[in-house]
Amino acid sequence: MLQVAVLKENTAAVLAALAKRHYPTAEADVQAVLDLDQRRRELQTGHDQAQAEANELARQIGGLMKTGQKAEAEVLKVRTAELKQQTKTHSDELADTEKQLQQLLYKLPNMPHTSVPEGRGADDNEVVREWGTKPELATDAKPHWDLIEQYDIIDFALGNKITGAGFPVYKDKGARLQRALINFFLDEARAAGYTEVQVPILVNEASGYGTGNLPDKEGQMYHATADDLYLIPTAEVPITNLYRDDIIATERLPIRNAGYTPCFRREAGSWGAHVRGLNRLHQFDKVEIVHITQPENSYAALEVMVAHIEMLLQKLELPYRVLRLCGGDMGFTSALTFDLEVWSGAQQRWLEVSSASNFETYQANRLKLRYRPEGSTKTQLLHTLNGSALALPRIVAALLENNQTSEGIRLPKVLHSYCGFETIGG
C-alpha cells in the first residue's frame, strides 16, 4: 500500500510511475486519496479541539461546584453536552472517512522501480539473459501430457473424479519425483542460508490484505466462507504475515525464510492448449523464498534471490531465460519483478516457473512491518521480497519433455539420490 505522505509530497512522480503501469484512473484515485486525507485531518482537528474544550469545561465545572456556583456550572454543562455530541459526530465521520481512505489506498498498485521497462504486456518484457542449450528432440517427441499417460505417473481423470479439473493425482514415480523436487529445493534453500518454516495453507482475511492478495486477487482465491478463511495462492502469504505488526530488531535482519506448501488458484476462465496438462493447475506444489530487509539492501537481496533460482535451474540442466517485466505485465504489489522461464522442448515454447519480486514498502505498509534504525527513536518500514524456488508443475513438464529418449526419460543427475531412480520408463 502506498503511503499517503508519498502521494502528497511526490504527486507528480507517483502519477508518472502509475502511468508506466497503464493504470487508467490514477489521477482521479490519487486526487481522491488526497481529498479524503485532507478531510480526515480537518475532522481530527475538529474532534481534538472539541475534546480539549470539553475537558477544560469539565475542569471549570468542578471548580464552580466547589464554590457553590451551581447555576454557572449548569450553563457550562449544557455546552459540555453539545461538545460531547460534536465529538461523537466527528468520531463517526472520522471513522467513515478513514475507512474510505483505506479502501481507496488498497486499490492503488505499487509504483514501479525506475528500471522497469515501458510496455503493456508480455511481448514488451525485457530479456535479461539466457542460459543453456535447447534440446534437439526427435521428430516424434511427445508433449508431457502424452508422456504422463504413456508412463502412468500422473492421472488427471482420477483427480477430476475426486475433485475436478486441475487437481491431478500423482502416482508411483510421478509422486516420488514431486517429493524429490520439494526436498531438493528445500535443501538448497537451507544451504543458501534460508530458515525453513512450515506454515498453514489457510489464512484469514487480514493476512490476505497484508500481502496485497486482497482485494486484488479475491476472485482467484478459494474462499472457505463458513470460517472466512482463504486457501493460499502461494506460501508468500503466510510466511510474510509471520511478521505482521512487528518491529524487527536490527540484529535479526535480514530475515530469510523458505517454505514448501501446496498452492491453490481458481484460474477462472483459463482454457486451451497453453494450459493443457501441467501448464496450469488449480492445485500445485511450490517452494517459496521470502526476504525481509532494510530498504538500502533490498535490490542487492533481489539479485541474490534471482541467482539462487538460476542455480536451481542450472543444476536441473534446464535451459532458461530471465525476464524483467514491463510496467503493464507486472504484479499489482511489485516494484520490480524478474520472471524465469524454462524451455519446453516438445511444446517449443518458454514456460514461466518463477517470479522474484521486490515490493519495497508496499506490503510492509499494509503489514505495519517496521524496524528501528540504530541511533533513531523512530521506526521505518522494511522492504519485503519473495520468489518461487521453485514451482513444480512446469518444472516437471520441462524435465519430462526435454529428457525423453527412446529408452525412457532420463532425469538430471542432481535428482538421482532424491528420487531413488534415474529414469522413468525404459
**Residue-level pLDDT at 54:** 87
User: Which of 167-171, 269-273, 340-344, 345-349 comes out lowest in average pLDDT?
Assistant: 269-273
181, 214: one domain: yes
218, 250: one domain: yes
What is the mean pLDDT of the segment spanning 185-212? 98
Bridge partners of residue 358, in order along the sequence: 336, 385
What is the mean pLDDT of the segment spanning 181-206? 98
Report if residue 215 sits inside a domain. Answer: yes
What is the tens place of the pLDDT at every residue in 337-352?
999 999 999 999 999 9
What is the mean pLDDT of the segment spanning 239-259? 97
**Residue-level pLDDT at 79:** 87
**pLDDT beyond 60 at 268:** no
140, 230: one domain: yes
85, 176: one domain: no
241, 338: one domain: yes
Residue 186 backbone phi and psi in degrees, to 5:
-65, -40
User: Which of 9-23, 209-223, 239-253 comes out lowest in average pLDDT?
Assistant: 209-223
Percent of residues, the chain, with pLDDT higher than 70? 98
260, 290: one domain: yes
Report if residue 219 sits inside a domain. Answer: yes
101, 131: one domain: no
Q: Name the domain boundary from 107, 140, 157.
A: 107
**Residue-level pLDDT at 271:** 54
Asked if 339 and 323 count as a contact pair (C-beta separation under 8 A), the reply is yes
Domain count, the chain: 2
User: Which of 8-22, 111-125, 153-167, 264-278 comes out lowest in average pLDDT?
Assistant: 264-278
**pLDDT beyond 90 at 269:** no
pLDDT band, very low/low/confident/very high, at 226 (cuts 50, 70, 90): very high
Report if residue 113 sits inside a domain. Answer: no
Binding-site residue numbers for L-serine are 234, 265, 288, 386
**pLDDT beyond 90 at 73:** no
Q: Which of 325, 323, 361 is nearest to 340 (CA)?
A: 323
**pLDDT beyond 90 at 288:** yes
Q: Quote the distance between the C-alpha of residue 181 and its chain's center.
A: 23
272, 183: one domain: yes
pLDDT band, very low/low/confident/very high, at 355 (cuts 50, 70, 90): very high
Range of the domain at 87: 4-107
**pLDDT beyond 90 at 44:** yes
What is the mean pLDDT of the segment spanning 353-381? 96
175: CATH:
3.30.930.10
Q: Name the domain boundary from 76, 107, 138.
A: 107
**pLDDT beyond 70 at 298:** yes
**Residue-level pLDDT at 273:** 55
pLDDT band, very low/low/confident/very high, at 213 (cuts 50, 70, 90): very high
128, 97: one domain: no
Mean pLDDT (the chain) is 95
395, 337: one domain: yes
Report if residue 115 sits inside a domain. Answer: no
pLDDT band, very low/low/confident/very high, at 217 (cuts 50, 70, 90): confident
Of residues 101 and 426, more confidence is placed in 101
What is the tens place of the pLDDT at every residue in 309-331?
999 999 999 999 999 999 999 99
Report if residue 117 sits inside a domain. Answer: no
pLDDT band, very low/low/confident/very high, at 216 (cuts 50, 70, 90): confident
147, 273: one domain: yes
64: CATH:
1.10.287.40
Report if residue 114 sits inside a domain. Answer: no
58, 192: one domain: no
The set of catalytic residues is: 265, 280, 352, 355, 394
Report if residue 397 sits inside a domain. Answer: yes
What is the mean pLDDT of the segment spanning 190-216? 96
> What pTM does this model have?
0.93
**Residue-level pLDDT at 375:** 85
Report if residue 368 sits inside a domain. Answer: yes
**pLDDT beyond 90 at 270:** no
What is the mean pLDDT of the segment spanning 147-166? 96
Asked if 263 and 369 count as a contact pair (C-beta separation under 8 A), the reply is no
